[in-house]
Structure 1
Amino acid sequence: MLGNTLIMKKLIESISWKTLSSHSFVVLLLAFIALLYFNPLLSGKVLLQSDIQQYKSMSRQMKEAREASPPVETYWIDNSFLGMPTYQLGAEYPADFLMPFYYITRILPRPAHLLFLYFLGGYLLFSVLGLRRTYAIMGALSFGFSTYLLIILQVGHNTKAEAIGYFPFVLAGLLLLLQNKRLMGWLLSTLALGMQIRANHYQMTYYLLFLLFIFGLVYFWEAFKKKDVNNFLSQIILFASAGILALGLNATPLLATQEYTQFSTRGPSELRMQPNGTPKENTSGLDYNYITQYSYGLFESFSLLFPRIQGGGSREDVGTESSLYYYLIGRGVPVQQAASFVSAVPTYWGDQPILEAPAYIGITIFFLALLGFRSSRGPLRKSLILVIIVSLLLSWGKNVPWLTNLLIDYFPLYNKFRAVSSAQVLLELCTPILAVWGLAQFFDKEKQEQIKILRGTSIVFGALVLSLFALKGMLSFQGAMDSYLRQGYGNAIFQQIVETRKSLYNQDILRGMIFIFGMAGVLYLGSREKLKSKQVLGILFILVIADLLQVAERYMDRDLFVSPRLARQVFVSSAADRTILQDKGHYRVYDSDAQLKSPRTAYFHHALGGYHGAKPRRIQEVYDFFMEYRAESILNMLNVKYILYKEEDKQKVLVNPQALGIAWPVDSLVMVKDADTELNYLKELDLSRQAVLQAGQLPNDFIPPHSIDSSFNISLVTNYPNKLTYQYEIKRDQFVVFSEAYYQKGWKAYVEKKEVPIYKVNFLLRGLWLPAAAKEIRFEFQPPVVRLGTQIRWGSLLLFFISLGGALWYDNKAKR
């Protein structure tokens, strides 16, 4: 108790109430701006985020369990992919001591709370850099209003947005430590790293590690030159201890994710053969082509400054004043149809398969960043430039194969992540820092030095604009996906689309040139003392925000704000769904059109498909091998009783009477040496009577079955995602296959309350040896990783308070 009192007293004494009230006003202002940007939320509407709707379908059973009486946290769902853990579906774990900090931003409705998080982190970071309030607000808004960070909110990449939102908090903590503000730096680093990891988007955490490593390397070199290495090492040790505590406070989700990864499409495969019979590349993660499918193009990088230089997004609204619109009208296309077409023109011609919007950071921000680069010195500038370069190289993916191959082959966990283009999130952070911090450095220069720096910056950007205009004649304005467009629209319309791309190219370069002239002109007037510094800063502030918001508004779809009632009706049951739902039995539904990508089906039924970036690996492999060859027997084995298909744009249902049900006995077991053989045997066996499993699972004294007991009867008595209870009757011992996913880490089987082994059969199902005398079977999902993680969390919390108390005591003693 005395220790807690000392901690609180010390923290209260460190607060400047005048400073606190000043910062509180800014925080409220930033919250208001976040709400104002998403102003439909104020009228009670909600944003319809596509990824969140898909998540809702996948997490339906989790929600139902939490709303049950009493509420239960299930760590397993079986309405998708034959069943999977909820570790990457928003599972809530015991002892989540960071949860209160999450709710600080959640005072605002979604997604305004995440925009507020961007702003709050940016403001804190720029304040730590010692910038005045106006600069800090400008920096916060410059970071938060970048197009990419807004678009991921629109589509529902909430965990990614949250993970990115904590980047500036983490960097602020590190910089405080490097400024020898050790207590506040350590405390902020611990909480910021903890919250960043808690956001549960480990790809973003991985990129953050690149940033931290580069900063550490640069500042170490500076300390080495100043012969201050010991002090630097003590700062880094404190930061590392904060990182260890942050990991400990997130032990459960980290351990659970690490465990599940081995069984997901992000982990290593047991198979050594491809579906076509060719040898399979032995990797411990994702396929190279899948990892690099979304790679930023080299020329496409200019879209960071000129958003539509390579067409913008995959569906651009070019307007009814465009030449394309008049071309369509001139060819007799009805006005309404022509207007609809020009509202979503496929103008993007870059390297990526599809693009929601360009990752525009701002021509004004880049102008100020170059100005800042020329105005500043020191380790911060070096760190920012290196991070920007590395970020760009990482995002280029397959376009810089020497680097990407090196990372995939030798960097731990790098092959678990896809969409390498998202590495440019580090650019999203570091470029505004260099711009706004550098601008403050620029204003500290003598007027003649300002003119010199401004002249050089303007020449560089002028040369860039002229070069891009000159380059236009050498560009094809055609992309990787254009063969489909030409085939779908015909050559005449396709050529008009190409002309539209050229027009957008010109428009955005001219737009950028206007902003460059505006920025340069205002700064020149300031350096000539025609405008006061506050006036210059105010005008620059307006130009930056106008630049960012103008582009962001092209891609923010305000029609996605709908009433809560309409949002709840996104998944509307069809007549086919309602027909299936009349059957109260336990079965699965397969959507033959959506195949494994069927979140809608998972919302209403126990679906074979679903939607997830890390689906269970075995169901994907079975699909790849069999859904075009002998699909019927596989569907039967997986208890698919109903198959959805489309006919004349209407969803129909086909009943599969051959589905094998919840469980069935077999009269022979085929033992094989490896997974490839096991999978291939599924092509040959009568799966209603035979089962295949890998050697080594069964005990030496196991007596294989010889016949099927015709009296076998089984029923599912209780059906919860994490607990299944069966009643069965047989006259003699039988080996029984269950149409449930095999997952060895957590599932336990009990026959008459006695634990029995679960065997992996038919590549992905469960098998049990059932004695004739028993009557009840119970499957329960009891993941040990949750218990272990909870214990580590409690230990980490205790260590955190011991460390904090010790630091305060030591600081108090030193001052005496």
Structure 2
Amino acid sequence: MKGKAYLLLLLVVVLAFWQVSFLQNGIKWDFVDAFLPSRYFFSESVLNNQFPLWNPYLLYGTPIYADLVSVFNPEFWIVGNMFGYSNITLQFMFLLYVFTAGVTFFFFLKEFNAEYKLSLGLSVAYMLSGFSIGNAQHLAFVCGYAIVPFVLTSYFKFIRELNKPHLIRVAIALFVMIYASYPGLTIILGYFLLCIFVYYLIVNRTDKSFLKRVFIYHAVLVLMVVLSSTVLIIAWFQGSSFLGRYSGLSINLAHRHSFTLKSVLSFLLPMATGNDTSYFETDVSMSNGYWGVISVILFLFALLKKAKSRESYLILFFGVFSFLASLGNQFFLREFLYHYAPLMDMFQYPAIFRAFTIFSLLAFVGINFRVNNLAWRDKKRLIFLAGLVVSFLVLLIFYASSHLEEFVFFNAGKSFTEEVLSATRFDSIVLQGTGQVFILLTFIFITWKLKTIRHYSAALLFLFILDGMVSTQLSTRYTVLSEDNPVAFFKYLRSAPKGFPIPELNPIEENSDRNAQNEFIWMNNNVFPKKITFDGKVAFKLDGYTYLADNHPGLLEAIKKEAVVYFSDDVRENSSVENFTANTIFLSSSDYKKIEADNLRSGKNDQLAIRNFSPQKIEIETTTNHPQLLAYQQNYYHGWKVYVDGKEQDLLQSNFAHMAVWVPSGEHTIFFEYRNPLIKYAFGFSYLVFFILIAFSIHYFVIQHPERKKKLAIALFSGLVVFLLGSCLNRYFYQKNVKGLIPEIIEKTDDWRKKYGADIRILLSTQQEQLKELVPADTAFFVDDKTNLSELAHFLVQSESLRLAFVWQGGSVSDDIIELIYSFYPGIIEQKQTSSSGILLLEKNGDKQHYAVSRDFEPGSEEWARDNGRIKTDSVTGNHTYFYDTEDSWGTTVEIPVTEEWNSPAKIAVLSDFMFEEKMVETLLVITTDRDGKTHSYQVSKIDKFARRPGEWARAAFCIRLDSGLQEGDLIKIYFWNLNKARFQIDNLKVKLIDSE
């Protein structure tokens, strides 16, 4: 029976979230912007044999281990080693956690002898509740929510029987909860366990033997938890000096995002809370508290009868307590807990208390409601209660209908998703309210008509499943499903640089989240292309960075103009922060006294180069004629050390947040290195305790079930083999992806150099210094859709060779780059590409590219006749160009109507030569599609990223994919938007329609 129950729960999860299960949609918001970057960095670390201690790609570097929901989670080590983290891996982890929630709640109800089919139905309600749906983006929330029933089941068994097997199991359950869940949920759960403990003390207050045993066993349990949490305790102490958050949050943050009184509407109509945050006065992810409309009826029924278990009143009490705490500043309890209950000032989001409300209300139903004992009088009471709720819903529907101007659903020309996202709460009340009335009327019918317990239980289970799946589908578009294609996102991650490439010495401000944005994510973007940056969103910011940003924002903006490592001879004490430049470094008085600031002097021959890089170590070679201060734009933190020529030197805290070292004149090798052996040892110790607990648990299981010893041994051995095999295969495919076409690149470029001699130029794009030494390239620099595009454009403009070989390794090459190269070298001789490397051999005199539109602005062109006042003539060459002045926001527009004969292309590429006359500023090339007089699609590209300097001609390329397709009557428009009123010229504006990949 258990196997069928698991299969049913799994099937319900897969179908309820079918868009996620079958990779039709991704999961939105923090799921990909916060949780994916941290896990992706983790798997990159372990696959490159790095213990994940420091992430250099966010907020000038963060101690990833100090985020207590991070690298110590068992999930990280299993998934990171066996599969590696991607958006798809994480989506399946979400589904697994939702499924786990159902399984653990089912086991909890089994502990209280709840009926089988009712337990299954309530487990469906639990795993598809408003907490799972509303907080789908918060993976740690869903994980903790799934573990809560497991911990409570283990603890009830433990405190009832007080024996060693149950002691071990509850210790294991607490280990998983502490390491995998959001800390706020763990803290609340701790108070729940405390309530149970006190309850049993009161009930058994006269039993001295029980009291003695309960205190001894709990003392051992506390010791086990402390020992297994050693690494977290040490991480907390290490971080407390650098993280103000560890000392507690402000009351305003503690009240942030409550489950408001208005959100109680979600108990019946969760869809109504999905699109009106101003009315519900909280974040949309925190306003859904749904636990099933059938569950509400059964709860009211159980509440009116005598409970079958006294513990259920305790559970109900904590549920009501959690509900009142979830109201935040709308009730006094959350603030009272903040001031007087230990650790209750350490987390945000009062709405997370609703997880325990949902658990407690459903548990109360499961413990006290019995289908087997329903008399006709009980059924009449159920029908009466259902009728009351139906009447209430009908009144709500009529009220909502009176506030509707036009019902948004069931209108032709719009998809259901579009209707859902444009619906008001009144539309949602009418739609879902009608559905809930139907479900409740069905409930009334089966309660009235079905006489046999078996049929009634089965029908009730069916209604639970129907209710859960329908409510899930009605709400997922608000808080679960994104419009991103998860398969395309996965391909983007596959093409991202692997390992830890040497950082570019460009201004660090260029590595902003905004510049690194793509179609899938908008925060923490630089973790994937592996670029050190100053911004990002994580659970905490180091105090040094916070102080710099809050108190000296001008200095922060100034130092962004420097590279990740840079020299300075302008060093001052930080007692007066004023009149500084990007090169200025401020030190504390004690650090300032350690250096000879008067001897610092820059020279035109000063050089530095990064030779090796990893998250925890950077090797820099320097050459200077005078002493300099070398700054490393990573946060100053416990564990960093610096060495000059192998000898440890004083690590200075520069500009309140970063690190610096005094470097003497001459040639030197500098290492900045992060070491934290105590964390590694503590991690090993904590997991050793955990594995010992697992071993004891297996030992006691075998004693209790000797007949299962062989099956257990086979299962454990199989699990170990699968883990090792999966880890080996994952590493094999990872290294294969890293290697890419490197052997072919080396072989072919050498052959081409010998074959074509001076008739070929070879351009290598890579961040691997070793590959640069092996490939006979004319020039080598890393290029992707965000990096060195101006260098690429300049290289192509200057290139006069008959052939070009463009080879790349360790990154993605966008359509823009490919089309830019084709515009200079249209003839394809040879090409090959993998997810992260490729080969292109091209020639200038090959087949010319076919352009649907070509504007050269010469006499006779369309612009010459219509807008010749905007056309300039070069006095030397006589060439004509179209110009934009400081008064011109807009100019010439290319319009392409889509006709019946149109062969719908897969992509559109736009190319244009351009030149900024005085200064380079952000200027946009725009491609829109109009349909029925309205803008159907709108996409832009910044052409300034292709320019090196003013007064120099460059070429921009912009390629868009027409995933949504074109229709007859659509109008494609292409134009420039002079956003910042620059003076620039364009020429040779061309449009290319590409029929296939």
TM-score, shorter chain, exceeding 0.5: yes
Secondary structure in 1 matching 2:50: coil
CA distance in 2 between counterparts of 1:811 and 1:145 reads 35
Counting only pairs closer than 5 Å after superposition, residues 97-496 of structure 1 correspond to structure 2 as 109-153=92-136, 155=137, 157-180=138-161, 182-224=163-205, 227-228=206-207, 230-231=209-210, 234-235=213-214, 237-238=216-217, 241-242=220-221, 244-253=223-232, 255-256=234-235, 259-260=238-239, 263-264=242-243, 266-267=245-246, 284-308=247-271, 311-314=272-275, 346=276, 349-355=279-285, 358-375=288-305, 376-400=307-331, 402-440=332-370, 443-444=372-373, 448=377, 450=378, 454=382, 457=385, 461=389
User: Partner of 1:709 in structure 2?
Assistant: 601
Secondary structure in 1 matching 2:192: helix
User: Partner of 1:331 in structure 2?
Assistant: none
CA distance in 2 between counterparts of 1:476 and 1:399 reads 27
Secondary structure in 2 matching 1:141: helix
How far apart are 1:194 and its partner, in Å?
1.5
CA distance in 2 between counterparts of 1:107 and 1:201 reads 16
User: Partner of 1:636 in structure 2?
Assistant: 558
Q: Which of 587, 590, 603 does residue 528 from structure 2 map onto?
A: 603
Q: Is the 1:737–1:765 Cα contact (8 Å) retained in structure 2?
A: no
CA distance in 2 between counterparts of 1:85 and 1:777 reads 22
Matched, 1:766 2:655: no
The structure-2 alpha-carbon separation of the partners of 1:780 and 1:668, relative to structure 1 and needing over 3 Å to count, comes to closer
CA distance in 1 between counterparts of 2:80 and 2:537 reads 29
Deviating more after overlay: 231-240 vs 127-136: 231-240
CA distance in 2 between counterparts of 1:456 and 1:608 reads 61
Counting only pairs closer than 5 Å after superposition, residues 35-46 of structure 1 correspond to structure 2 as 35-39=14-18
The structure-2 alpha-carbon separation of the partners of 1:553 and 1:437, relative to structure 1 and needing over 3 Å to count, comes to same
% same residue: 14
Q: What amino acid sits opposite 1:413 in the alignment?
A: L
Q: Is the 2:268–2:292 Cα contact (8 Å) retained in structure 1?
A: yes
More helix by share: 1
CA distance in 2 between counterparts of 1:612 and 1:49 reads 17
CA distance in 1 between counterparts of 2:564 and 2:79 reads 45
1:712-756 CA distances to partner (integer Å, 9 max, x unpaired)? 54332212111011223446655x251423333211222232222
CA distance in 2 between counterparts of 1:59 and 1:100 reads 9
The structure-2 alpha-carbon separation of the partners of 1:797 and 1:312, relative to structure 1 and needing over 3 Å to count, comes to closer
Structure 2: runs of 5+ lacking an equivalent: 84-88, 405-420, 706-997
How far apart are 1:758 and its partner, in Å?
1.5
CA distance in 2 between counterparts of 1:96 and 1:147 reads 24
Q: Is the 2:230–2:686 Cα contact (8 Å) retained in structure 1?
A: yes
* Structure 1 length-normalised TM: 0.71
CA distance in 2 between counterparts of 1:583 and 1:804 reads 48
CA distance in 2 between counterparts of 1:661 and 1:101 reads 29
CA distance in 1 between counterparts of 2:610 and 2:309 reads 69
Higher relative contact order (CA 8 A, sep 6+): 1
Q: What amino acid sits opposite 1:204 in the alignment?
A: L
The structure-2 alpha-carbon separation of the partners of 1:161 and 1:353, relative to structure 1 and needing over 3 Å to count, comes to closer
* Structure 2 length-normalised TM: 0.59
Q: What amino acid sits opposite 2:235 in the alignment?
A: A
Deviating more after overlay: 190-199 vs 228-237: 228-237
CA distance in 2 between counterparts of 1:107 and 1:683 reads 47
Q: Is the 1:175–1:185 Cα contact (8 Å) retained in structure 2?
A: no
The structure-2 alpha-carbon separation of the partners of 1:103 and 1:368, relative to structure 1 and needing over 3 Å to count, comes to farther
Q: What amino acid sits opposite 1:79 in the alignment?
A: Y
How far apart are 1:786 and its partner, in Å?
1.4
CA distance in 2 between counterparts of 1:789 and 1:545 reads 45
User: Partner of 2:467 in structure 1?
Assistant: 547
How far apart are 1:119 and its partner, in Å?
1.8
Counting only pairs closer than 5 Å after superposition, residues 572-591 of structure 1 correspond to structure 2 as 584-585=504-505, 587-588=507-508, 589-591=510-512
Q: Is the 1:571–1:603 Cα contact (8 Å) retained in structure 2?
A: yes
Q: Is the 1:266–1:285 Cα contact (8 Å) retained in structure 2?
A: yes
Matched, 1:614 2:530: no
Matched, 1:623 2:575: no
User: Partner of 2:922 in structure 1?
Assistant: none
Q: Is the 2:526–2:533 Cα contact (8 Å) retained in structure 1?
A: yes
User: Partner of 1:778 in structure 2?
Assistant: 671
Structure 1: runs of 5+ lacking an equivalent: 1-21, 268-283, 315-345, 478-496, 641-658, 673-680
Q: Is the 1:362–1:544 Cα contact (8 Å) retained in structure 2?
A: yes
The structure-2 alpha-carbon separation of the partners of 1:420 and 1:723, relative to structure 1 and needing over 3 Å to count, comes to same
Q: Is the 2:43–2:80 Cα contact (8 Å) retained in structure 1?
A: no
Q: Which of 664, 673, 687 does residue 567 from structure 2 map onto?
A: 664
How far apart are 1:691 and its partner, in Å?
1.8
The structure-2 alpha-carbon separation of the partners of 1:66 and 1:146, relative to structure 1 and needing over 3 Å to count, comes to same
How far apart are 1:635 and its partner, in Å?
3.1
User: Partner of 2:32 in structure 1?
Assistant: 53
How far apart are 1:773 and its partner, in Å?
7.6
User: Partner of 1:567 in structure 2?
Assistant: 489
CA distance in 1 between counterparts of 2:674 and 2:598 reads 31
Secondary structure in 2 matching 1:111: helix
1:198-223 CA distances to partner (integer Å, 9 max, x unpaired)? 21421221121232222223333322
CA distance in 2 between counterparts of 1:27 and 1:101 reads 26
The Cα RMSD (Å) is 4.5
Secondary structure in 2 matching 1:544: helix
CA distance in 2 between counterparts of 1:94 and 1:349 reads 38
The structure-2 alpha-carbon separation of the partners of 1:504 and 1:43, relative to structure 1 and needing over 3 Å to count, comes to closer
Q: What amino acid sits opposite 2:259 in the alignment?
A: Y
CA distance in 1 between counterparts of 2:109 and 2:80 reads 21
Q: Is the 2:42–2:71 Cα contact (8 Å) retained in structure 1?
A: no
CA distance in 2 between counterparts of 1:167 and 1:760 reads 43
1:345-372 CA distances to partner (integer Å, 9 max, x unpaired)? x586211144487231122112212222
How far apart are 1:300 and its partner, in Å?
1.9
How far apart are 1:142 and its partner, in Å?
1.9
How far apart are 1:506 and its partner, in Å?
5.5
Q: Is the 2:318–2:357 Cα contact (8 Å) retained in structure 1?
A: yes
How far apart are 1:141 and its partner, in Å?
1.5
Deviating more after overlay: 737-746 vs 595-604: 595-604
The structure-2 alpha-carbon separation of the partners of 1:452 and 1:49, relative to structure 1 and needing over 3 Å to count, comes to closer
The structure-2 alpha-carbon separation of the partners of 1:515 and 1:798, relative to structure 1 and needing over 3 Å to count, comes to closer
How far apart are 1:263 and its partner, in Å?
3.1
The structure-2 alpha-carbon separation of the partners of 1:413 and 1:387, relative to structure 1 and needing over 3 Å to count, comes to same
1:671-690 CA distances to partner (integer Å, 9 max, x unpaired)? 54xxxxxxxx4344456345
Secondary structure in 2 matching 1:116: helix
Q: What amino acid sits opposite 1:383 in the alignment?
A: L
CA distance in 1 between counterparts of 2:52 and 2:572 reads 33
Secondary structure in 2 matching 1:749: strand
The structure-2 alpha-carbon separation of the partners of 1:786 and 1:128, relative to structure 1 and needing over 3 Å to count, comes to same
How far apart are 1:165 and its partner, in Å?
0.7
More strand by share: 2
> Of the two, which has the highest radius of gyration?
2
1:420-442 CA distances to partner (integer Å, 9 max, x unpaired)? 212211122122111222212x7
User: Partner of 1:647 in structure 2?
Assistant: none
Query: May I ask how many residue pairs the two structures share in their alignment?
Result: 668
Q: Is the 1:98–1:195 Cα contact (8 Å) retained in structure 2?
A: no
User: Partner of 2:648 in structure 1?
Assistant: 755
